[in-house]
Amino acid sequence: MMAILVLFLQARYDLTAEKAGNIYGWFYFSTYALGLVGGILADSTRKYKTVILAGIIIMFCGYLLMAIPGMSLQFTVAALFIIAFGNGLFEGNLQAVLGRCGLFLLGAVSCQHCSYSP
């Protein structure tokens, strides 16, 4: 989606390259900036699996909203930021859970004996 987002915005909403690029830039920025929110939330609650699952569900809802035909530009931008928020909850916390499992040190794809609960 990231590769063609600007082209989609230009073709669907007849935006200039500058305006479509600004929307793309804010979307890309918020996918990383909201990772801080997800990390703070997961660290304060210590419920990494719950935060990861919430991120997946929120991203799914954002993608469903993007799939609705005939949406206005404001609705599309809102759906993009819902996706970014879900990604912020999901991305960093998944790495933290895998890191707690020792998967990065082992280079393994799966871990039979690791526990995901704190």
Q: What is the pTM of this model?
A: 0.80
The region of weakest confidence among 47-51, 77-81, 95-99 is 95-99
- pLDDT attached to residue 117: 47
Alpha-carbon Rg for the chain, nearest whole angstrom, is: 17
- pLDDT attached to residue 107: 52
Alpha helices for 1-118 (secondary structure H): 5-13, 17-45, 48-66, 73-101, 103-106
> CB–CB of 34/84 below 8 Å?
yes
